[in-house]
Amino acid sequence: MSDSRTTSRTAPAPRRPVDDPPVAAPPAGAPSRDTRRFLPLLPGLLMLAVALVGAGRPVLSWDEVTSAEVASRSVPQILDLIPNLDAVFGPYYLFLHFWTAVAGTGEIILRLPSIIAMAGAVTIAAELGRRLFDPAVGLVAGLLLCAVPNTSRYAAEARPYAFACFFAALAFLLLIVAVRRGGRLPWIWYGLSVLFLGLSHLIALTTLAAHLTYLVVNARDRVRVWAAAVGVALLPVLPIAYLGTTQEDTQLHWVAPITSGRIRDMPGEIVGSREVAWLLIGLAVLAVWRPGRRLVPIAVYALAPLTVVAVVSVLVSPMWVARYLLVVLAPLTLLAAVALLDGRSRHTLARAVVVLLAVAFVAIPGERAVRAATAKNGPDYRTIAKIIGAEAQPGDVVVYPARNRAIRAGTGYYLRRQSAAPADVLVEVPSAQTGWLIAYEYPDAVARLTGAPRIWLAVADRRDDPLTARPDLQSLITSGYHRIGLWQPKSATVALYAKN
């Protein structure tokens, strides 16, 4: 009798995690559940295609020139650089060293890993939307990310910022997986993603505040496990963080102090278009007013990096730089997508399509601007090399300002394609062998140049008299040479002097 009563009872339904969206029967003609799992791939593939359009058109920025030059060094030479400079970029330089050794050093090849990483970041952002809200939110968020000009700008950038976006989104996704599935392996994968997040960019670790918020809202009993996983994951990052703090004067000396005006301009600088930025922010604000604990971690994901960097910039050292904060783009578009798809009226889809088209239209000027030949920071090294390569003659020599890190490396990068390039006769110790980014020149520069039939001088700014960049050579050149050519491409001056 007791057995009969036991088997007739209905087993309690399993408790659904509070962050799961309510499950409703799909409307007729809607994609199946298996099909919806693949929806995040659509914006990811679109991002890959969009990022590849014109990826090789912009000249390498001065930072990309550094990436190319350091990647060409041997592993011991890269390790020699890290204690002196760019420690926070050391892991990326090592990765790029092995990548270029296999794939080559052309502009698109240098940028291709970042292009793939940004496409992956868009895919994972869409998957976050699917898991935290519903497939439509994920799809719309991913499509909005594709329209953001700076996702294309920094996808086609041989620097680690796209990787920071990728690992920030991946770490959040793997946290959700670890919480829902439990077990040791998901937490190991999560810990690895946090490790790579720290190795890609230290400031991206501010997104961990969103992880803690997610746990407080949904799974407080996992906070200790999370703290242990994060603690172990960050142990290898600590030496890099320490070196980064000791290199602050050389790494961030150029960053201007934070001001109210710079705060006001930051949204447009992060997005790459002021108009698109404020459209997305307006939508995100509408989403914040929507009740629901699922929104809180995403809001923290968007706000924590901005808040931490602003506070540090005021109290410690300025680091209010747009590219350091690109990780906020994914949560910003997620919040915008939630606002667009709030409610289930028959007008919801039409509203989302209209806004997507409007954002894409408004983003066109920004998308065109980031693909311009001279869109990036620094001189137009490509044009400098074309000028020199077209006019160069046997016996020519080239001179750069002493202790300039990028003009020599950038011009040299593009001159390697020219059939005849002037000799850089002043270099005593190449930059790769100095443990820094600057080559050491011979102390007797005048003696090294005496007798050269023609001297090229390339300067990383516009000057009426480029010799002011090399006052040590002024007497030699003014007395024994005369200027026969002067060119001024973007942010540069090139002069050619012939022997009297």
What is the mean pLDDT of each successive set of 10 residues along the chain, which is 500 residues long?
38 43 43 75 98 97 97 98 96 98 97 98 97 94 98 98 98 97 95 98 98 96 97 97 89 90 96 97 86 88 97 94 97 95 74 93 97 96 96 96 92 90 96 96 95 97 96 96 97 97
pLDDT value of position 447: 96
Residue 25 within any structural domain of the chain? no
pLDDT value of position 290: 72
> Same domain, yes or no, for 333 and 391?
no
Domain boundary among 369, 397, 432: 369
> Same domain, yes or no, for 73 and 186?
yes
pLDDT value of position 351: 87
> Same domain, yes or no, for 139 and 59?
yes
pLDDT value of position 143: 98
pLDDT value of position 347: 77
Domain boundary among 349, 369, 389: 369
> Same domain, yes or no, for 198 and 77?
yes
Residue 1 within any structural domain of the chain? no
> Same domain, yes or no, for 488 and 409?
yes
Q: How far is the C-alpha of 51 from the C-alpha of 326, rounded, in Å?
A: 16
Q: Which domain holds residue 215?
A: 33-369
pLDDT value of position 34: 65
The count of other CB atoms within 10 Å of the CB of residue 455 is: 24
Domain boundary among 369, 399, 424: 369
pLDDT value of position 250: 81
pLDDT value of position 29: 46
Q: How many domains does the chain have?
A: 2
> Same domain, yes or no, for 319 and 431?
no
pLDDT value of position 32: 61
pLDDT value of position 33: 63
Residue 278 within any structural domain of the chain? yes
> Same domain, yes or no, for 49 and 168?
yes
> Same domain, yes or no, for 181 and 260?
yes
> Same domain, yes or no, for 295 and 149?
yes
Residue 232 within any structural domain of the chain? yes
Residue 376 within any structural domain of the chain? no
> Same domain, yes or no, for 263 and 359?
yes
Residue 138 within any structural domain of the chain? yes
pLDDT value of position 345: 62
Residue 266 within any structural domain of the chain? yes
> Same domain, yes or no, for 66 and 165?
yes
Residue 87 within any structural domain of the chain? yes
> Same domain, yes or no, for 357 and 386?
no
